[in-house]
């Protein structure tokens, strides 16, 4: 039970730090591309620390896990770029979006959500085959947790920025 509490504390601290850094730096970035590169570099660095703290790896599993995780992150970042671009455009057009624009946004974002779920599921299976089911479950849990946390923070930031 103490291990879970320690992990929970680590997760809260690291994810809070990541979110704080993310939104502070977004305010100082000059362009969309700067924002995107900054988010991806910060996310990659902070996220690996979170994953390392959360996933319990046997020394024999580390090499296989991190190799697969690097592959996963490359693919996840590609999807993340697309999601961020859609969100960026949505935020900039907020309040002026017509029905046709809303339909176009949903036609772009829904397949990305499906692709993200499919990617996590695919790497869950790959990690399970190279390590074990517990490590794969921990990978699955942390990826879904961080995805939900970031989505929630972005939506909250959008709401706050539009109501001020």
52-76 pLDDT, tens digit each: 888 999 999 999 999 999 999 999 9
- The per-residue pLDDT for 25 is 47
- The per-residue pLDDT for 123 is 98
Q: What is the DSSP string of 92-104?
A: HHTT---HHHHHH
Burial-class residue 87 by CB neighbours within 10 Å (0-12, 13-18, 19+).
Answer: middle
Q: For residue 154, what are the contacts with CB-CB under 8 A and spacing of at least 6?
A: 87
- The per-residue pLDDT for 24 is 47
Banded pLDDT at 101 (limits 50, 70, 90)? confident
Mutual angle of helices 133-163 and 2-28, in 10-degree steps: 40
DSSP state of 31: S
Banded pLDDT at 39 (limits 50, 70, 90)? low
Q: List the domain range (segments joined by +) for residue 24.
A: 2-163
Six-digit token pair at 158? 């959008």
Provide the whole-model pTM: 0.72
Of 55-64, 77-86, 102-111, 145-154, where does mean pLDDT reach its minimum? 145-154
Decide: 54 and 150 in contact? Cβ < 8 Å: no
* pLDDT of 112 over the 60 cut: yes
pLDDT above 70 coverage of the chain, percent: 65
For the chain, how many structural domains are there in total?
Answer: 1
* pLDDT of 12 over the 70 cut: no
Summary mean pLDDT of the chain: 77
Banded pLDDT at 91 (limits 50, 70, 90)? confident
């Amino acid at each position: 039970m103490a291990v879970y509490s320690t992990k929970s504390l680590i997760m809260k601290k690291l994810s809070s730090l990541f979110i704080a850094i993310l939104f502070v730096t977004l305010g100082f970035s000059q362009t969309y591309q700067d924002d995107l590169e900054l988010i991806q570099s910060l996310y990659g660095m902070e996220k690996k620390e979170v994953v390392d703290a959360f996933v319990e790896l046997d020394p024999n599993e580390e090499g296989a896990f991190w190799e697969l995780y690097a592959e996963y992150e490359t693919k996840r970042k590609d999807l993340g770029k697309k999601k961020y671009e859609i969100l960026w455009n949505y935020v900039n057009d907020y309040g002026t979006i017509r029905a046709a624009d809303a339909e176009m946004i949903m036609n772009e974002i829904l397949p990305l959500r499906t692709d993200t779920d499919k990617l996590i599921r695919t790497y869950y299976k790959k990690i399970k085959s190279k390590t074990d089911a517990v490590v794969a479950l921990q990978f699955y849990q942390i990826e879904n947790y961080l995805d939900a946390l970031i989505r929630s923070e972005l939506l909250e930031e959008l709401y706050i920025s539009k109501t001020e």
